[in-house]
Amino acid sequence: MSLTKDFLLEIGTEELPPKALKKLITALDSGITQGLDNAELSYTSTQQFATPRRLAVIIQNLQTKQEDKNAMRKGPSLKAAFDEDGCPTPAAEGFARSCGIAVNDLATEDNKKGGSLVFHHQIPGKAAEKLLPDIIEHSLNKLPIPKRMRWGDKATRFVRPVHWVLMLLGDNVIDCHILDLKTGRSSLGHRFHHPDPINISQPIDYAPLLLSKAKVLADYEVRKKTVKAQIEEAAASLNGIAQIDEDLLDEVTSLVEWPTAIVGSFDKNFLDVPAEAIISAMKGHQKYFHILDKKGNLLPHFITISNLESSNQKTVRQGNERVIRPRLADSEFFWKQDKKTSLAEKNTRLKNIVFQKKLGTVYEKVKRNEQIAIWLSPFLHVNSNMAKRAAYLSKSDLITAMVGEFPELQGIMGEYYARHDGEESEVSIALREQYLPRFSGDLLPTTTSGQILSIADKMDTLVGIFGIQQLPTGDKDPFGLRRAALSILRIIIENRIDLNLDELIKYSISTYQGKFSVTDHLATQLLDFIFDRLKAYYSEQDISLDSFHAVRETGSFEPYDFHLRILAVESFKTQAEATNLAAANKRISNILKKTGEDIPLKIKPSLLVEPQEITLFEKLGEIQSSTIKLINEKQYTEVLRLLSTLEQHINQFFEHVMVMSEQIETRKNRLALLKTVSDQFLMIADISLLQT
């Protein structure tokens, strides 16, 4: 069995970009392990370490040498290798010389052409220490760094200047140059607490030594848990609850090597400003965590994570309080200034903001949103004046100083300013809800006006961007069209709104009035795009693709109606009759496709002669009136349950009745009967497509 040792790589740098740190270390780990796999070097596990000044990976139990390989080299055929007297030819001798042995030591191999000379030999495996430098270089070159930088007079490029490279295999340094630096066993500790070099004897000592001697908590996940625990403890000391945003927690974890929580305070008067604005100032500018009381109200305190353990924490706290005060004062000023004019008064200034250069201004978008909102109102049973007013005011907060400083507050500040202006409560809430849902799994608008405004705004964007043919490609979707499409679907389905997307799209297209060339293909293209998102929506809920395609074949353009059909099909698939009925419908579909005859619209009972076709016809007639009523009520699950009772009669029909009778009228009548059966199912879904 091969000898194994732990391997350690550490790249020491200037402060790395915090939002890229996790991605960089994950990619480095993946690149190294992929290189080891390609080199056929085994290992048991890996461990990642990442701080602002280092990226490190430990590979546990790395195989120190590749396995030797048995190889075979094929030479000339036996006919060409020996003459008539059995003496080696120049071809045989030349092959033997190239192999470094005598002809007599070569082996032979039988084949269809009479056999040939072969040379069996062993290729010795290479040592891991010889392979690792290239593996590391290749991994570093593949890191997802958008723009690499040079420093000093070096030709090397990396995300930040590199100051040291540590590479150990067991207790030995792998002697090479990485990123134009000679490798060693020295690391550097915390920039202030332990700026001196620290020698690492072997990989297993790496994290413990940095922690105990160098004031560096190198393990990213451990450091993250430490930061979170410190924040929660600090909040509890104030009888509050820390609000920990996961993205901010990641960013702060990426900014520190030795986290220390510090609690600060600010003037209570700032609490008169909307809490979201105060929170945005603390989070966005200073990376502070805010605290709520047990009633959910913002407390005049914050928690910051320092990268050092100061002997004078009071000074550090006061410094942070001094820095945050002007930020909060700015927010207070914006709040007071913005309220001096109403949202309605700000509306016309939207003419100066471009939505998209080919599609015009935000003001023009608002006018289109108004039209779509009015059109949508009857479907949601809401007063069109309410929806129109919400649409009219929907983008006015983009003009405000507060949203100019904190773009993430658009909609949120719109609600605050609308309430201040005395607008209807539903209108005010709709201004915030127009942006919901903002991400997968996010909350949906709760008010009908909010639902209308969200659908209208997103559909207008979809139609406009598709109209100028700037469709999403690959992972590029600058206008968030995929998210917009899924949001529209979720609002309609989860709020049980009866709405035809085809009609909505065509109306939305009409509101653009010559901004782009309208083709018949545009609506179809957009419908296909939206229904592709619907397919993904169901896939995430573990609903099989065959159910989706079965319903898609019906041509339903109403997402909620589509959803009810999907549920009915999924329920149908659990029934014992489902497999036979799916197969029978597939057989019926194939028969109807292959026949070149005109199939009568009505069945003639007088032409039914076989008992099985008569029974099928009668049973079909018994349930037809019920199915029509149930379909009108969208009781699709019950419809398929009723149709399932036809299973034995359809099977009996196929077993005893010759569909393609030589008698033309009889044949056509039987085809009409089968088509009627098929049509009953097709009113719900094409179950012939089900993989039961």
Task: Return the CATH number at 640.
Answer: 1.10.730.10
End-of-domain residue from the set 151, 181, 213: 213
* Phi/psi at 648 (5° precision): -65, -30
Residues 65-85: what's their mean pLDDT?
85
Segment 388-397, tens digit of pLDDT: 999 999 999 9
Q: Are residues 418 and 500 in the same domain?
A: yes
Q: Are residues 174 and 81 in the same domain?
A: no
Domain range for 60 is 4-66+127-213
Residue 560 domain-assigned (yes or no): no
Residues 556-566: what's their mean pLDDT?
96
Residues 327-341: what's their mean pLDDT?
96
Output the six-digit token pair for 475.
């992972």
Residue 631 has pLDDT above 80, yes or no: yes
Residue 521 has pLDDT above 60, yes or no: yes
Residues 586-593: what's their mean pLDDT?
87
Helical residues (DSSP H) of 100-245, grouped into ranges: 128-141, 206-213, 220-236
Segment 86-137, tens digit of pLDDT: 888 988 889 989 988 888 888 888 887 778 888 888 888 899 999 999 999 9
Q: Are residues 315 and 328 in the same domain?
A: yes
Instruction: Collect all residues with Cβ–Cβ distance below 8 Å to 175 and sequence separation of at least 6.
Output: 182, 183
Segment 216-235, tens digit of pLDDT: 999 999 999 999 999 999 99
Residue 484 domain-assigned (yes or no): yes
The predicted pLDDT at position 1 comes to: 47
CB 12 within 8 A of CB 187: yes
Cβ neighbour number for residue 395 with a 10 Å cutoff: 27
Residues 574-585: what's their mean pLDDT?
88
Q: Are residues 284 and 166 in the same domain?
A: no
CB 89 within 8 A of CB 96: no
Confidence of residue 2 (pLDDT cuts 50, 70, 90): low
Tell me: cis bond preceding 76? Omega within 30 of 0 counts.
no
Consecutive H or E run containing 5: strand 4-13
Q: Could you tell me what percent of the chain has a pLDDT over 90?
A: 71
Confidence of residue 169 (pLDDT cuts 50, 70, 90): very high
Segment 361-370, tens digit of pLDDT: 999 999 999 9
Segment 234-257, tens digit of pLDDT: 999 999 999 999 999 999 999 999
The predicted pLDDT at position 692 comes to: 67
Output the six-digit token pair for 145.
């760094």
Residue 503 domain-assigned (yes or no): yes
Residues 400-426: what's their mean pLDDT?
97
pTM (whole model) above 0.85: no
CA atoms of 381 and 590, how far apart (whole Å): 44
CB 461 within 8 A of CB 481: yes
Q: Are residues 274 and 384 in the same domain?
A: no
Backbone φ/ψ region at 587: left (φ over 0), alpha (ψ -120 to 50), beta: alpha
- Range name among 171-185, 421-435, 484-498, 566-580 with the lowest pLDDT average: 566-580
Segment 192-214, tens digit of pLDDT: 999 999 999 999 999 999 999 99
Between 114 and 566, name the one with better pLDDT: 566
Residue 513 has pLDDT above 90, yes or no: no
Consecutive H or E run containing 303: strand 298-306
End-of-domain residue from the set 542, 564, 593: 542
End-of-domain residue from the set 338, 371, 404: 338
The CB-side HSE value for 268 (13 A sphere, CA atoms) comes to: 1
